[in-house]
Amino acid sequence: MGSTSGTSNGSAGVGRRNLLKRSAALGLVSVPAMSFLSACASGGGGSQDKAKEGKKTEQNPLGVDGSAALSVVIFDGGFGTKYATDANAEYKKAFPDAKIDFHSTQKIQSELQPKFNGGTPPDLIDNSGAQQMDVGVLSSKKQLADLTPLLDAPSIDDPSKKVRDTLRPGIVEMGRFDGDPVWTLYYAYTVYGVWYSQTALDRLDAEYPEDWDAMLALCAKAKKQGIAGWTYAGKYPYYVPFSLYPFIAKIGGREVLDSIDNLEPNAWKHPAVKAAFEAYYELQRKGYVLQGTPGIDHIQSQTAWAKGEALFIPNGSWVENESASVIPDDFRLSVGAPSALDASDKMPFGTLWASGGEPFIVPAQANNVAGGMEQLRIMLGETSSKNFTAQVKSLSALNGGTDGIELTPGLKSAVAALDKAGDNIVNPRIGDWYVKLQKEQIGVSGLGEMMAGRITPAEAIKKIQDFADATAKDESIKHYKHQ
């Protein structure tokens, strides 16, 4: 992953920050309105027969009705669906009389919202993708089951441990949206950052840039060889925060992200936000972003990057699996933490965003609530967890679960990045708490417009702050705060 020495010296850093201030007044492009991903036919509704309460035993601590059908809907995205169907087979072993209704889709909201409204939701849902449902809204309408019984159940592998005691740090807390209930179980553990090919850097005789001057210098060097510095999912610009948010935290401290999550007045006007926006804006202004990026989606941007048309892409660790068919064998996939802005940054190089991903929910009105939770308990066992990691090149929420697995280059790099980060891991919640604000307003209307070239950083910040203020004042939206 290149050099791991400290940030640039103080005088250079101060000059960089001043330069960014001076370069902030030029103009930038817009992105087409977000189009939802296409998908297969709808399905996944619950049957009309409510499951009875089964007898609770050591092998069946949640009291699953072994003869009841189980309905599972999985988002068909970067992780595919085989890990889930394999877990279904494990459920079938435990409950051979159970019929499993499995459905995969990318249209989570448009297919499942009517089923929630009609009282026939499936028993377990992987609520992910561009059409994920707003868990804050669902929980406020009492449409989700509290997953505490699952978390307090004995784990599959070691009955002396509760499921909650086997999970990675932050997983349980992420599932809480209001007090004690846990509405969501994030199954994957995602490392976000700046993804790149170590082979491509070697060809440029370069190391991963640890400060912004080095980042710009490397982008300039690449441009001379016809290679763009960056690309991103232009149609879904909420991918940009995967590296931008930890960059903001690195510059100003994790409390800046907390204030943004809490919808505090003027949170987006913090100097750290301004400096980070101006730095990213400079990539566009200097022509270091792959031409045409604003008009392409996540798959197109990842394919261009994998083909060597751009060095860096902000993404999550699912990119290794999602782009497996286009990443060359000699790519040596790696992830970098945000480069430093300058020596006055509040957090050290290595500061990283890592958190639960792939949120699973059990609807309160599901026919087989206990079965939905039991399927998650199975998935959080070592067998299913190792299968997930081996198949999709991502860590799971199970703390461990990699023994005996040969880690892929990207996963090995992600584990090394987590080790380097130590306690300097941030987990912004705004995307979980306020889906529309994060995806449509901050993403498309704010960052998308700025990165495409239609508005300046100052204009983007004003727009985003206005959106955040409107969200804070909207009494129809449930609000959350860091405890």
Q: Among 387, 406, 422, which residue terminates a domain?
A: 422
Closest CA to 371 of 139, 49, 72: 72
Q: How confident is the model at residue 74 (pLDDT cuts 50, 70, 90)?
A: very high
> Tens digits of per-residue pLDDT, 382-410?
999 999 999 988 899 998 878 888 899 99
Q: How confident is the model at residue 179 (pLDDT cuts 50, 70, 90)?
A: confident
Instruction: Give a yes or no: residue 48 inside a domain.
Output: no
What tokens were used for 57?
A: 């035993």
What tokens were used for 478?
A: 């449930």
Instruction: Give a yes or no: residue 40 inside a domain.
Output: no
* pLDDT number for residue 228: 98
* pLDDT number for residue 180: 77
Total number of domains in the chain: 2
* Same domain (yes/no): 197, 319: yes
* pLDDT number for residue 453: 97
* Same domain (yes/no): 230, 290: yes
Averaged pLDDT, 88-106: 97
Cα 402 to Cα 389: distance, rounded to the nearest angstrom: 7
- Residue 455 near residue 25, CB atoms below 8 Å: no
* Same domain (yes/no): 298, 343: yes
Tally of CB atoms within 10 A around 291: 12
Instruction: Give a yes or no: residue 5 inside a domain.
Output: no
* pLDDT number for residue 178: 67
Helices (H) and strands (E) in the chain, counts: 20, 10
* Same domain (yes/no): 15, 148: no
Q: What percent of the chain has pLDDT over 90?
A: 77
The CATH number assigned to the domain holding 106 equals 3.40.190.10
Instruction: Give a yes or no: residue 257 inside a domain.
Output: yes
Instruction: Give a yes or no: residue 1 inside a domain.
Output: no
* DSSP output for 157-187: S-TTSBGGGGBPTTHHHHTBSSSS-B--EEE
Instruction: Give a yes or no: residue 85 inside a domain.
Output: yes
Q: What percent of the chain has pLDDT over 70?
A: 90
Q: How confident is the model at residue 45 (pLDDT cuts 50, 70, 90)?
A: low
> Considering the chain, what is the average pLDDT of its residues?
89
> Tens digits of per-residue pLDDT, 435-458?
899 999 999 999 999 999 999 999
Averaged pLDDT, 270-293: 98
> Tens digits of per-residue pLDDT, 14-39?
343 343 333 333 332 333 333 322 33
Q: Map tokens 């697995």 to a residue.
A: 405
* DSSP output for 307-362: TTSEEEEEEETTHHHHTTTTS-TT--EEEEPPPBS-TT-SS-TT-EEEEEEEEEE-
Averaged pLDDT, 180-190: 93
Q: By three-state DSSP, how is residue 66 classified?
A: coil
What tokens were used for 399?
A: 């703390």
Contacts of 111 (CB under 8 A, 6+ apart): 39, 42, 43, 44, 73, 105
Global pTM? 0.76
* Same domain (yes/no): 342, 265: yes
Q: Is the dihedral of CA 52, 56, 57, 62 positive or negative?
A: positive
Query: For residue 309, with 0-12 CB atoms within 10 Å meaning exposed, 13-18 middle and 19 or more buried, which class applies?
Result: middle
Cα 117 to Cα 124: distance, rounded to the nearest angstrom: 16
* Same domain (yes/no): 212, 294: yes
Higher pLDDT, 165 or 36: 165
* DSSP output for 255-300: HHHHHHHTT-TTGGGSHHHHHHHHHHHHHHHTT-BPTTGGG--HHH
Closest CA to 43 of 122, 98, 100, 136: 122
Closest CA to 293 of 24, 29, 23, 26: 29
Q: By three-state DSSP, how is residue 100 classified?
A: strand
The widest CA-to-CA distance across the chain, in whole angstroms, is 71
In the chain, what is the straight-line distance between the N-terminal and C-terminal CA atoms, in Å? Answer: 35
Q: Among 422, 446, 464, which residue terminates a domain?
A: 422
* pLDDT number for residue 8: 32
Instruction: Give a yes or no: residue 375 inside a domain.
Output: yes
Cα 5 to Cα 16: distance, rounded to the nearest angstrom: 19
Name the least confident of 134-143, 348-357, 462-471.
Answer: 134-143
**Angle formed by the axes of helices 271-285 and 457-473, to 10°?**
130
Instruction: Give a yes or no: residue 461 inside a domain.
Output: yes
For residue 363, the one-letter residue type is P
Q: How confident is the model at residue 324 (pLDDT cuts 50, 70, 90)?
A: very high
Which residue range forms the structural domain that includes residue 228? 10-35+192-354+426-473
Query: Is residue 114 predicted with pLDDT exceeding 80?
Result: yes
* pLDDT number for residue 381: 96
